[in-house]
Amino acid sequence: MSKPETNIQPPAAAGPLSVGRTSRFQIFVGKGLDASEPIVELLIRIFGWSAIFFVLAIFVFVVIEAVPVFASEHFSFWEFLTSGSWRPTSPVREQFGIAALMYGTFSVTILSMLIAVPIGLGAAVYISEFAPPKIKETLKITIELLAAIPSVVWGFIAVLVLGPIIVKTTGAQDGTNMLNAAIVLALMSVPVIVSVSEDSLRAVPDSFREAAMALGAGKWEIVYRVLFPAAKNGLLAAVLLGVGRSIGETMAVLMATGHSVNVSLNPLQPVRTLTATIASELGEAVVGDTHYRVLFLIGIVLFIFAFVVNLTADLIVKGIRGQQND
């Protein structure tokens, strides 16, 4: 005798517990979860909107603290952008020129990208195309570890380890300089670049590789003639993310650059970045003072740089052709 189909679940418990036979308890909990669904949905909506809200709030806060500086008589926006003299606490004449600081940020970022991009892309290509599976996994984990090192620890490494090495190998007088900071920033950016590049290389369909092989391409040829052009949006995005990391880095460059208001093409000379300036001086600036507001203005400048970099990365990823026409 076949049992009638009485084991069909009651439709009331149509929530997450509706798999298999439903006990009364499960129905009870299921009904509770169903009832809570609109609450959960509201919570999730709140979290989503609050993310946008907080970003906007931060931006508004920085702008509110910075903008009154334009009304101050000590401050000249032209001098701010073009002068290399940063002397905000001078008893003689306060000067707020950030040209040397911008040079510091740019020079260190560009130099670090010159080091990080070949290493990062090379590692990504190796991991994605050439490494045997075991080595692939080990390498990926090790490179992620590099990303886990706190930035102030990198600062210590820069001063205590890299500094003496640079002095010994280049004969520089002092080991904390543009080169030191560039190396440290490169090491910090490499994990970012490797992760994103490796992802975009893996996203290229195998059919591309197979087609190239069928046409007789060697492995390396496949990489630079097929994969790079196909993955170029992702690779460019990876590089720009690395740039964003380098521009925003504070503690490590504070210690590694020698923190000196100095403009020089020689990478063995010290420099000072915008981020390190804010970090070292904001504590001392009296709230509401011109110095204080100028530091927030520097924050806005950094915001703009980061925004431009991220926007460019976004546009490139969307495949819009900028200056990178093939």
Partner 1 sequence: MFKFLTISKNLGAILLAAAFGLTACDKKDDGKGTGGAKPAAAGGKSIVIDGSDTMLNLAQKWTEVYRGVKPDVQIQVNGGGSGVGIAGLIAGTLDLATSSRKLSEKEIAKAKSEHKGKEPREYIVGMDALAVYVHLNNTLDSIAIDDLAEIYGEGAKITKWSQLGGKVGMDNDAIVVISRQNSSGTYAYFHDAVLGKKRDFKLGTRDMSGSVEVVHTVAITPSAIGYSGMGYKTNDVKWLKISKIKGEPAIEPSIETVKSGTYPIARPLLIYTMGEPSPHAKEFLDWIMSPKGQEIVKEQGYVPL
- What phi-psi label fits residue 216: left (phi over 0), alpha (psi between -120 and 50 degrees) or beta? left
Under rule CB under 8 A, residue 174 binds partner 1: yes
Q: Which stretch binds partner 1 (CB under 8 A): 11-19, 208-216, 284-292, 316-324?
A: 284-292
Out of 4, 91, 132, 322, point to the residue binding partner 1 (CB under 8 A). 91
- Which tokens is 20 given? 């298999």
Q: Which is nearer to partner 1, 91 or 216 (CB)?
A: 91
In whole angstroms, give the CA distance from residue 255 to residue 154: 9
In whole angstroms, give the CA distance from residue 113 to residue 189: 8
**How far, in Å, are 10, 35, 235 from residue 129 at the CA level?**
53, 50, 15
Q: How many binding residues for partner 1 (CB under 8 A)?
A: 44
Out of 93, 134, 318, 321, point to the residue binding partner 1 (CB under 8 A). 93
Under rule CB under 8 A, residue 169 binds partner 1: no
**How far, in Å, are 20, 129, 263, 287 from residue 126 at the CA level?**
47, 5, 38, 52
Under rule CB under 8 A, residue 234 binds partner 1: no
Q: Which is nearer to partner 1, 239 or 295 (CB)?
A: 295
Q: Which is nearer to partner 1, 95 or 233 (CB)?
A: 95
How many C-beta atoms lie closer than 10 Å to residue 255's C-beta?
Answer: 23
Q: Which is nearer to partner 1, 209 or 259 (CB)?
A: 259
Under rule CB under 8 A, residue 280 binds partner 1: yes
Out of 31, 74, 87, 232, point to the residue binding partner 1 (CB under 8 A). 87
**How far, in Å, are 41, 46, 205, 227, 271 from residue 27 at the CA level?**
21, 29, 46, 53, 67
CA 66 vs. chain centroid, Å, equals 24
Under rule CB under 8 A, residue 284 binds partner 1: yes
Q: Which residues contact 324 (CB under 8 A, 6 or more apart)?
A: 232, 236, 316
DSSP 95: E
Out of 8, 92, 141, 214, point to the residue binding partner 1 (CB under 8 A). 92
**How far, in Å, are 46, 119, 246 from residue 151 at the CA level?**
32, 20, 11
Min dist. Cβ of residue 114 to partner 1 (A): 24
Q: Which residues contact 148 (CB under 8 A, 6 or more apart)?
A: none
- Which tokens is 181 given? 């900071």
Q: How many residues does the chain have?
A: 326
Q: Which stretch binds partner 1 (CB under 8 A): 104-112, 213-221, 228-236, 260-268?
A: 260-268
Ranges within 26-65 binding partner 1 (CB under 8 A): 41-42, 45-50, 53-54, 57
Min dist. Cβ of residue 160 to partner 1 (A): 10
Out of 125, 272, 296, 313, point to the residue binding partner 1 (CB under 8 A). 272
Under rule CB under 8 A, residue 270 binds partner 1: yes
Q: Which stretch binds partner 1 (CB under 8 A): 5-13, 229-237, 256-264, 313-321?
A: 256-264
Residue with tokens 């911008």: 102
Under rule CB under 8 A, residue 69 binds partner 1: no
* Interacting residues toward partner 1 by CB under 8 A: 41-42, 45-50, 53-54, 57, 84-93, 100, 163-164, 171, 173-174, 176, 254, 258-262, 270, 272, 280-281, 283-288
